[in-house]
Amino acid sequence: MGLLTGLLWSCTSSTSGPDAAASGTESTVQTGGSSTSAGGDAGGDAAGGSAAQGGAGAADPSGGTGGSGAGDSAAGGGNQTNAGGSGGTDDATSGGTGGEGTGGADTGCTPNGDSQNLAERYANCFPIGAAVDSQSYTTHAALLKAHFNSVTAENEMKFESLQRTEGNFSYDAADRIVNFAVANNMKVRGHALVWHSQNPSWLFSSGGGAVSKQVLLSRMKNHISNVVRHFKGKIYAWDVVNEAIMEDGSYRGGNLPDGQNSRWYEILGESYIAEAFKYAHEADPDAKLFYNDFYNYIPAKQQGIYNMLKGLLDQGVPVHGVGLQAHFNIEPSTVTTNQAYHQHVANLEEAIKLYSSLGLEVQVTELDISLYIPGVTYNPSTFYTTATFTDDLKAKQAARYREFFELFRKYGSAITGVTFWGIADDNTWLSEFSSGRKDFPLLFDVDHRPKPAFDAVMDF
């Protein structure tokens, strides 16, 4: 995991920036308000209210239908095809029936026997994934093999990891993760081809100045083609474009603090999004291609994402799904100006209905539930520790997981994957802060034992 530095915990700042990913380097500075952190929301807000704390936003990749173009299933809200296989059973697949009118069909899902293994229990619903890093797939192998049937590389497939210098692709770390997954019959999601963050410095410059449109487009094509071809047949779904829309529904563009602005948009305009999907589809016509983003529960943002996706589909761009990052908090914010004020199940449900009405698959791509409440100020004396992560708090976190999983199961035919952003509490991006702030956001504790949250997710 990268190292988040400079966390300022007492943030009052406003919101916005959760996502900002620290560009290029790993250092997300979360200064009081402007978070620069990687992309999400979660973190940041999680703690202090604003993006400040490092927020990582949740992205949500959702994945497309097989084949022909998103869209086809759209119409009736009905039949989502199931993502790739494993998880869903046939029923999940044909879904159909246009249950909710506009929303995705909703056949829900039922437990697979009485299995105590998470992925097995959800086998009639969707694959259950975890983000892994270059250590955790070995240090946490027992948990991974027991409870998950899909993996995402947390950082190892990002632009700066795969092409640190121009033309030199380094696949070793990513290959090791993929080989582990293949050897253990797990699916692999690819994350992420085009993002405003974690890019190498050469990418946007040329001869000491800014790169031209034409050269940047050819760099983007070269990267996508090389990477997608390299993993063809092993990666079933890609987050092609990550975090392109802001909280107000507009495109992420320039005039944002460093780390939050998108050089892709500044140089290429919004057409970079369509081009990225086309290049990825050319490189692997069988891969499901997702748009991935966080804060989908904010009405203006979900509408902006919907409008963008509809526009892409209308132009025939091969988009197959939407990823919901899902970096959540133990409770919504009470601060009306905070992004997490909107973090209610009903708002997320609207997003699922809206996106699936386009015929797109929906996947939860980066799930975790932070203990910190956005809009509340924390400091080292109120940071959680294993001692202050009390039974009450564990029960509260479990209840929050329960309500979100009830929603995911309800939309078990539209949702084709649920991935946690980590495996156990001893290895989470939410504890990367140099301030020492720890978080305990996953289903397994620091000693890899199941938490009450695990029981809540298994209880259906």
Active site residues: 243, 366
CB of 445 to ligand 9MR, least distance (A): 19
β strands within 133-204, DSSP E:
150-153, 187-194
- Pick from 17, 32, 33, 40 the residue near ligand 9MR by CB under 6 A: 40
Q: Does 423 bind ligand 9MR (CB under 6 A)?
A: no
Residue 26 or 439: the one with the smaller Cβ distance to ligand 9MR is 26
- Pick from 31, 197, 339, 416 the residue near ligand 9MR by CB under 6 A: 197
Question: What are the φ/ψ torsions at residue 173 (nearest 5 degrees)?
Answer: -65, -45
Q: Is the peptide bond before 192 cis (omega within 30 degrees of 0)?
A: yes
Helices (H), 334-377: 345-356
Separation of alpha carbons 342 and 335, rounded Å: 10
Separation of alpha carbons 438 and 432, rounded Å: 8
CB of 77 to ligand 9MR, least distance (A): 28
Q: How far apart are the first and last CA of the chain?
A: 33
- Pick from 154, 266, 350, 439 the residue near ligand 9MR by CB under 6 A: 154
Q: Does 188 bind ligand 9MR (CB under 6 A)?
A: no
Q: Hey, which residues between 56 and 95 contact ligand 9MR (CB under 6 A)? A: 56-57, 59
Mask: binding to ligand 9MR, 365-394, rule CB under 6 A, as x and -? Answer: -x----------------------------
Q: Does 45 bind ligand 9MR (CB under 6 A)?
A: no
Q: Does 305 bind ligand 9MR (CB under 6 A)?
A: no
Q: Does 156 bind ligand 9MR (CB under 6 A)?
A: no
Q: Which DSSP letter does residue 418 get? A: E
For residues 161-197, one letter each, b for 16 or more C-beta atoms within 10 angstroms of the residue's C-beta and e for the rest, the string is bbbeeeeeeebebbeebbebbeeeebbbbbbbbbbbb
**Other residues' Cβ atoms within 10 Å of the Cβ of residue 269:** 12
Residue 180 or 420: the one with the smaller Cβ distance to ligand 9MR is 420
Separation of alpha carbons 251 and 148, rounded Å: 34
Q: Does 26 bind ligand 9MR (CB under 6 A)?
A: yes
Residue 361 or 366: the one with the smaller Cβ distance to ligand 9MR is 366
At 95, list the tokens.
């879904």
Binding footprint of ligand 9MR on the chain (CB under 6 A)? 1-2, 21-22, 26, 37-40, 56-57, 59, 154-155, 197-198, 325, 366, 429, 432
